[in-house]
Structure 1
Amino acid sequence: MDFIKVSTCCPITKVADVGTNLSNIKKCIDIAISEESKCIVFPELSITSYTCADLFLHNPLLHKAEKAIEDLCHYSKNKDILITVGAPLLNNNSLYNCAYIIFEGKVLGIVPKSYIPNYTEFYEKRWFTEGINIIGQTVSLSFQSDIPFGTDLIFEDNDFKYGVEICEDLWVTIPPSSFLAVNGANVIGNPSASNELASKSQYRKALVSNQSARTMSAYIYSSAGVHESSTDVLFSGHLLISENGTMLNENTRFERDNEVLTSVVDLFKLNSERLRNISFRDSNRLFNKQFRTIRFKYKDTSIKEFNRFVDPHPFVPSNTKEREERCKEIFAIQASALAKRFEHTGAKKAVIGISGGLDSTLALLVVIKTFDMLGIPRKNIVTITMPGFGTTDRTYNNALTLCRELQCDLREINIVEACLKHFEDIGHDKNIHDVTYENVQARERTQILMDIANKEGGLLIGTGDLSELALGWCTYNGDHMSMYAVNCSIPKTLVRYLVRYVAENEADKLTSETLIDILETPVSPELLPKDKDGNIAQKTEDIVGPYELHDFFLYHFMRHGSSKERILKLALTAFKDSYTEEEINKWLDKFIWRFFSQQFKRSAIPDGPKVGTISLSPRGDLRMPSDASCASWLN
């Protein structure tokens, strides 16, 4: 069970009118079922309404509430949806504010509210008793005996593990959901009645989002609505579904009709995050409590309409403002990391090969920012362009213009004669354009750069990016090697936006035009001869596949340990208007094969800063044998 649909809802209520409330609860359940939801959360005390005040002490209301729960159990038969509804419970002369968890005609369990607010506008202790210490108990209702009762309940069907806390429980120092989560619950329901005050919704939303992140869970929040009593306060019916800190869905508050909000929750991702997070596992050992597992069984959790948004570019924020802020931050990380290396080594010069392509352009921009930060003259940046067999006029001229405009020490060393001599020395036919033909050029360039770095007493700055490392699209001990690699955790899709950010925000007119042209140039190592018109003949994405696909594959492969089948399913959703299933499957196979076969290159990469959530450093995020088989992933 990778995915499951869940719902939060706010039904129309009438204060103390159990019949009306029950009728609207049923309507909301029907809506949720039509949306394929398997778990629905109603507001706190939704059976009676939250604002009954002293009427909670009257037997007719309590009796009606219990009858409504019985009615709802009958209604739930053959519905295949887990229902969490709020109602009071009278037990041993104490009244509890409870969540009733109902499935297929039965109350699976009753969870009492742990913390009872009794301050400012809240005075619940006038009626209700706190349930924080109720564990291991059972209660009986008129229609069902021995119902699990307590704060120690987790409801489970395979990978779906569900726990409940109620309203105020979320607002305390250590919410009960924290204990639920470390003991296995990956979905938390919160029936709530949180009144509206100016700006309170923002704080409430932050609480839900942060708690879902802290517990690595999906959090379903349902608050009472505008039809509650407005004697002293107003409720807005705030509905929220958050997943590990990301808000999946939020309603428009103050609606006056029955409202149901449904989202697809990724259980696989949540469980994967927990598996990788050692601190989460440590919390389990330190804060382990005895919880009762209430098992139930869904008939069918398949999803016909998979309407979850899947970002085709997970490394790149879609919001323009957020993207600009991310670009600033990334440049700050890269430049600060490189500055530390210069300060430590005492080097005053940087050496960098400039091809007129995206990666070397980004690396140069980082060096510029670093030298400006340290107050080192830009003339100490030795930029070297090294034309070869495949260098086109377009990339060559862009390289020259960029280095001149940025006031660097520009040098040109043509590698053609050196490579021809090397072909002769090793007995390679220059007309055979194989991997030897290509790698001779890459290693010749690296040798030049390394030697000039030694000669100048400088550092050779690596230009390769994360996407190339993932695919092994670099020459071992060629462009694969440097003295510090500033782009090593920047995926190709993000490289583009970083360069564009400088072009649009920080560059003069000519530099900006040059950067834009570099962005529009096909990605190529330019190691094979030009075509008859002098244009690039070797286009990287024609050979290894589109980088936007590979970055998507990389993200889900590394971030969540996703299988090929899961990545394919997500990619088909994310790229449904761009690629066919056949195309995606072809390049996914290519990605998996290359990722495994090229690990030996990643095992020997130079230092470089981790910028985002994914890095392939053998000293950090990826400890992987170079001779591992990919058969289990491809088959």
Structure 2
Amino acid sequence: MGRKVTLATCSLNQWALDFDGNLNRILKSIEVAKSHGAKYRLGPELEICGYGCADHFFESDTLLHSFQVLQQLLESPITQDIICDVGMPVMHHNVRYNCRVLFLNRKILLIRPKMTMANHGNYRELRWFSPWNQPRKVEEYFLPRMIQEVTSQETVPFGDCVLSTKDTCIGTEMCEELWQARSPHTEMGLDGVEIFTNSSASHHELCKADQRVNLIKSATSKVGGIYLYANQKGCDGDRVYYDGCSMVAVNGDIVAQGAQFSLDDVEVITATLDLEDVRSYRGEACQPHLELEPKPCHRVKVDFSLSTDNDLCLPTHQPLDWCFHSPEEEISLGPACWLWDYLRRSGMAGFLLPLSGGVDSSSTACIVYSMCSLVCKAVKDDNNQVLQDVRRVVGDDSYLPQDPRELCGRVFTTYYMGSKNSSEETCSRARDLAQQIGSNHMNANIDMAVNGILGVFSAVTGKLPQFRAHGGSQRENLALQNVQARVRMVLAYLFAQLSQWARGKPGGLLVLGSANVDESLTGYFTKYDCSSADINPIGGISKTALKRFLLYCVEHFQLTALRGILSAPPTAELEPLTDGQVSQTDEADMGMTYSELSVIGKLRKITKCGPFSMFCKLIYMWKDSLSTTQVAQKVKHFFRMYSVNRHKMTTVTPAYHAESYSPDDNRFDLRPFLYNTRWTWQFRCIDNQLSQMQEEN
């Protein structure tokens, strides 16, 4: 009997309800795994139907088509002589479960339902699935007739069980279960399970990868064992991006690592490992704790070996250091991959971006340029799928993208929409950046459109509003700013629909938004202005992080035009200039800095602070720069702005999720949009505490 096993895990760019595409990618991954000598192949969570089916999980069609795909997998010669571990929804006793289905040579070995649901943040699994809350219990599952005809099986084991081969024992963990205090791998390891598998649909957040790596290293360092981690990748059909990072670990060390950001639809990671290393590790480190559990794992036996008799000379994988991306690299790569998936699957011909010459829109432009760089690199690396997709996007079957700047000119249109309130500096900054990235750039003045709308209003009411600088009221001043902002949105969509037509080219363009997460927190944008778009790659990223990202782009992409953009104060340029210079700035309008907003946003969402709790924390966090009275004023001002403008989040552009304090309405952040904006009780508590502190001093 051999001792070395070759195992495969993978990251697949699956798409919700794309059963044809999902089937082909699964088969491709199995084929690659077998070519590398693997006897076990693990795929990501719900890979057959796609993880992001949401309320489509309620439809019987989704269950039916998943079983139809499983039938084709069972019948395919590609799946022979390798244990295949695939994910799909299964209904058992009229209850819907998120399951792993393990099969070998046209026989289903077991079905393992997920036991802990992800039901926070971006996830609502308890809406669609029930957890299997019967540890160590296994029941009979009656297979659908279409599967019985292939497998000649009437029932198969369903429940919390493990697979026992001739040479080892394999146990399943699913995504959220790894993150729980009582993860299944601990008890499985104590009961002698040597190989743990985890099928995930884990989304990208800035700096989240190290959490996954540390959890997996910790899992195998505690009880020993081999850990296979598979993850979904790409845009499944929603705002999140699944970032791959498939890996293999053994006894606390990572021995194989997949890419975190990649345009490859199928990525297979294989590793050859020595089972005796697990046994030796446990013999020294875990022996006193290895004992028979009161309720041992139910073992499903299979007459199959993962090892061979002549494997002594087979080299094994050695520990490696995980290569983590910096946050700036993650901003460059994650949203770029997300944009590429959205573009190639939407059937559109490219993107249009209102480019103002500020940090936010410039960051969005740089992300598109990063996408073009990734596409050119993938084509250079012989990624045929990317080549086919980019040719379809540009409408040229002979096109070979080689230069990101040239590709940018084909798929990216930038548009500076100036007015009499715009400065020449912002216009030139936008033009210089567009020149350096190669976008198809246009300039237009919106004054004629704004004056036309105001003329209609004046004809109906007999009144013409004035800016505050010209003697108008606050109400007039705000309305005049909003008119300009909304005109830009209308023009952006007009040009997105017709600019390709005007150039004699087919297709339309997707409009990109560029409002950052901090502006969404306070509602510092006009409802239905040019922040209203089709998708927004920076909507979950803070202003502070975007500035660091632009510094990275200066060095990495040699985009020197960004230096001037970074040195300029953020401004909406919607109020009249003073002596030709900008007098309006974002931070003055908001009454707080962007760095202050990031702190407040994290306290509000992550630490779950209301006004009083936030005040109590900030008086110590900001004691070196603000007095307690000033802190109280900042907290009150934020909550007033937040509650007054919360309704804007109900219509905000779908944005790439990147920050854990995103205020994205009804998906990540479940808060109301109608408030008592005076916060009478809460603010009175702050005032009372402030008075007490002043008396004590």
Higher Rg:
1
TM-score, structure 2 normalization: 0.44
> TM-score w.r.t. structure 1 length?
0.48
